[in-house]
Amino acid sequence: MMRCFRHRPATLARRLAALLCLAIVASPGLAGGAPRVYDAPAAALGGAAELAVPPPPPEYQIEDLGWIEFAYHPSTRDRVRPLIVRADALRAELRALLGREVLAAPVKVRIADIPAELDHLVPGGLGRPATAVSFGALRLAVLSATPRLGLAAPDLDRALRHQLAHLALDDATGGAALPRWVHEGFAVHAAGDRAVLRAQRLSVAALRSRLVPLADLEARLAGARETTTSIAGAQAADVIRFLLEGDRRASFARALDRLRAGAPFAAALEASYASTSAELELAWRADVARRYGFLPVLAGALLLAGLLVGGGHAAQRLRARRSPPLPALRRRPRAAPELRSRPARASTAQLVATLGARQRVEGDGDTDVPKVEHNGQWHTLH
């Protein structure tokens, strides 16, 4: 019995280690060999038009807004309700971005509690690990409220924006075949995925002259484990940002019209912007240099200013500690003022009597003779 008890912890530890390794290998964010599922709708499912979207599980709650139907696990209700409230505003943003009516036909959104449930929400299953995928032919977007391995809760709002952006771009082009970097770049840009991190990556790449040529962007994006944070994904989103910025948005809308009419992507882009692909790439690189090139310089200047200010304060504190303290000034206690009694003022009668006595003394040398005052005159008594 004692021998069996000693071997159990080691066996259990080996099994847990094996399960952990298996989970890490299966994770898309940590595994090195498992690529991320391609969530651009045009390449997600072959022959998807012939498939039907399976009904949601019976325990799922359903909210139908006419153009979009939400079906979600009850445990995700508090996180899904804000998405339902902002759904119409999100569609309006995508319409303004693309310059045309999109997402008019009904769209289905399925939100699972855990990633394992996604296989039951997609016809035929996903086949690969994923937490958010959209299918243009099915007009379907599936999301998971929790990530694999339970590392951090995903941002459902940005995930929904990302997937609906794929579907909206499919609507705008009529399902035309587009390069993956265009689909993914537009979705990342529309959703605002990790904008600060993307700007940082572009800034460093621009300063080091490591921007990927647009001709190689497709291959680099296909080999990236995480398209949003990779330099290829950041560059794809920024190229779309450049093509949509300011007056160029009208040219982008014309390119969508040509794509819808069957023109290849490169030809539609060059005709709409009246520039060759090489000229567009040079213009974009110049814009990146102006937009992101100053960020490290600004950050370095701010850091240097902070160090100078902090160093000055530290030096003042150090000098204050080393210098001897000044002797405190001693104050002599002030004596309480002496209260002197003031003589009472003499009354009028007393003053008259005093003056009269003085006159008698000065005017009459015979001070021993009695005198009487009558009507202001003095009379001697005999």
CB atoms within 10 A of CB 224: 17
Q: How far apart (Å, rounded) are the C-alpha atoms in residues 174 and 256?
A: 9
Q: How far apart (Å, rounded) are the C-alpha atoms in residues 306 and 299?
A: 10
* Contact between residue 155 and residue 195 where contact means Cβ atoms under 8 Å apart: no
Name 111's bridge partners: 72, 143
Q: How far apart (Å, rounded) are the C-alpha atoms in residues 171 and 157?
A: 21
The domain covering 26-173 belongs, at the CATH homologous superfamily level, to Collagenase ColT, N-terminal domain (3.40.30.160)
Query: Cα 169–259–236 angle (5° rounding)?
Result: 55
Summarize pLDDT for 132-171 with one digit per residue, the tens.
Answer: 888 888 899 999 888 876 556 778 999 999 999 999 999 9
Q: Any idea where the domains of the chain sit in the sequence?
A: 26-173, 176-313
Whether pLDDT at 85 is above 50: yes
Summarize pLDDT for 23-53 with one digit per residue, the tens.
Answer: 333 333 333 333 334 454 443 444 444 577 8
Inter-CA distances, 217 with 112, 180, 236, Å = 33, 9, 8
Summarize pLDDT for 307-366 with one digit per residue, the tens.
Answer: 666 666 777 777 777 766 555 555 666 665 555 555 555 555 565 556 565 555 555 555
Stated pTM of the model: 0.66
Summarize pLDDT for 339-348 with one digit per residue, the tens.
Answer: 555 555 555 5
Which residues neighbour 121 within 8 Å (Cβ) at sequence distance 6 or greater? 54, 56, 110, 112, 142
Which residues neighbour 30 within 8 Å (Cβ) at sequence distance 6 or greater? 24, 149
